[in-house]
């Protein structure tokens, strides 16, 4: 029996399951910080939206987690690397090599700090590996919110955060869905098939005798569009709220509990309470906290501290699958 969480204000369902790819799905591959532990892998997530697969960060062991979670590795065409601390990209060269060994020939797009390009090509050169596919590197801009990818169905943005080195968060969002056709009305007004697509996009319809039929009579409201924000690693930084305002789900690092707030400030990380404060200020739908320090084996203290500020909070864990529907 799957666990289902219903968020009443937006009628959002978050479901943890082991099967069935939906229209917007997030799989947590790793939610630890700094080093792997026996319970948690370093940072990595896969977002599957509108038949697109996007990998966010690629800590050590990511490709093993991809296999364990039955994610189709070769469907990943976009990789987002938030910053160049090892727990967020040390798994990347292994994954790229596996793509090569499996015969990948599709282009791969990597969005990352500029120095990553030299790191990856240096490793490939040292091993005399000549990839069968092309990598397109796009350097992240740390000066503001930037659109880094767009197609007909989704948009991906980067935005700066505050850490000990340059770091970006990411926002992945669906574009507005087309309106749903009211088949009864379409048939009644004898709308030609070739006009259906324009009506889905909001056009009215003119009958042969010159009457204009409003789109609202021919269609129903579209399915909701969802968005996912990713914020790891960062100190408490309220300025990022405008970049994730009212996103459906927010993943925010919660490396420490309140008792280590001074350490969080020194290392430029966040506490669980601070993550919740960001979620509240940004008016997000759901908060998922992660990137836990290895010192925490019992995560309930972090969850309690976050929920005191933002009730609709859950804990990330390796293998957690979040489905928006």
Which pLDDT does position 188 carry in this prediction?
86
* CATH of region 3-177+223-320, choose from 3.60.15.10, 3.20.20.70, 3.40.50.10240, 3.40.50.1700: 3.60.15.10
Q: At 190, is the pLDDT very low, low, confident or very high (cuts 50, 70, 90)? A: confident
pTM over 0.75: yes
Per the annotation, the verdict on 87 as an active-site residue is yes
For the record, the structure tokens of 200 come out as 């889905």
Helix/strand/coil for 50: coil
For the record, the structure tokens of 319 come out as 């293998």
Beta bridge partners of 149: 156
Residue 107 C-beta-side C-alpha neighbours within 13 Å:
4
- Among 36-40, 207-211, 287-291, the minimum mean pLDDT is found in 207-211
Which pLDDT does position 208 carry in this prediction?
87
Which pLDDT does position 242 carry in this prediction?
97
Q: At 209, is the pLDDT very low, low, confident or very high (cuts 50, 70, 90)? A: confident
Task: Compute the mean pLDDT over every residue in the chain, rounded to the nearest whole number.
Answer: 92
Q: At 252, is the pLDDT very low, low, confident or very high (cuts 50, 70, 90)? A: very high
Mean pLDDT of 255-271: 98
Q: One of 87, 151, 298, 318 is an active-site residue; which one?
A: 87
Which pLDDT does position 4 carry in this prediction?
30
Domain ranges (residues) in the chain: 3-177+223-320, 180-218
Q: What is the DSSP string of 263-274?
A: HHHHHT--BHHH
Mean pLDDT of 64-88: 97
Whether 88 shows a pLDDT value over 50: the answer reads yes
Whether 18 shows a pLDDT value over 90: the answer reads no
145-180 pLDDT per residue, tens:
999 999 999 999 999 999 999 999 999 999 998 899
Please report, rounded to a whole number, the percentage of residues in the chain having pLDDT higher than 70.
Answer: 93
Instruction: Calculate the CA dihedral of residues 149, 141, 318, 46 and round it to 10 degrees.
Output: 10
Which pLDDT does position 11 carry in this prediction?
35
Which pLDDT does position 9 carry in this prediction?
31
Whether 17 shows a pLDDT value over 50: the answer reads no
Quote the CA–CA distance of 270 and 204 in Å, as a whole number. Answer: 50
Phi and psi angles of residue 162, each rounded to the nearest 5 degrees, phi first:
-125, 115
Which pLDDT does position 177 carry in this prediction?
86
Cβ pair 205, 213 in contact under 8 A: yes
Beta bridge partners of 229: 171, 250
Whether 6 shows a pLDDT value over 70: the answer reads no
Whether 280 shows a pLDDT value over 80: the answer reads yes
Whether 73 shows a pLDDT value over 90: the answer reads yes
Q: At 12, is the pLDDT very low, low, confident or very high (cuts 50, 70, 90)? A: very low
């Amino acid at each position: 029996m799957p666990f289902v969480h219903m968020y009443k204000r937006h009628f959002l369902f978050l479901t943890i399951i082991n099967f069935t790819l939906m229209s917007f799905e997030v799989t947590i591959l790793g939610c630890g910080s700094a080093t792997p532990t026996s319970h948690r892998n370093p940072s990595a997530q896969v977002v599957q939206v509108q038949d697109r697969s996007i990998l966010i960060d690629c800590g050590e062991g990511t490709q093993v987690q991809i296999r364990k979670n039955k994610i189709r590795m070769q469907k990943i065409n976009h990789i987002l690397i938030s910053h160049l601390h090892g727990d967020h990209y040390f798994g990347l060269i292994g994954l790229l090599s596996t793509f090569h060994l499996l015969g990948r020939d599709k282009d791969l797009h990597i969005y990352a700090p500029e120095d990553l390009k030299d790191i990856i090509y240096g490793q490939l050169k040292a091993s005399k590996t000549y990839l069968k596919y092309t990598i397109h590197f796009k350097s992240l801009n740390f000066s503001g919110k930037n659109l880094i990818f767009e197609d007909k169905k989704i948009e991906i943005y980067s935005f700066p955060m505050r850490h000990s080195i340059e770091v970006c968060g990411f926002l992945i969002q669906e574009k507005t869905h087309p309106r749903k056709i009211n088949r009864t009305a379409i048939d009644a007004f004898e709308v030609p098939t070739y006009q259906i697509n324009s009506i889905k996009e909001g056009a009215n319809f003119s009958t042969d005798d010159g009457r204009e039929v409003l789109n609202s009579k021919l269609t129903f409201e579209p399915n909701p569009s969802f968005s996912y924000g990713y914020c790891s690693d960062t100190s408490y930084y309220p300025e990022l709220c405008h970049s994730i305002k009212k996103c459906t789900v927010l993943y925010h690092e919660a490396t420490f509990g309140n008792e280590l707030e001074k350490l969080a400030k020194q290392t430029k990380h966040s506490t669980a309470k601070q993550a919740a404060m960001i979620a509240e200020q940004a008016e997000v739908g759901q908060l998922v906290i992660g990137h836990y320090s290895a010192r925490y084996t019992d995560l309930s203290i972090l969850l309690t501290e976050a929920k005191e500020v933002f009730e609709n909070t859950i804990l990330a864990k390796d293998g957690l699958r979040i489905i928006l529907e």
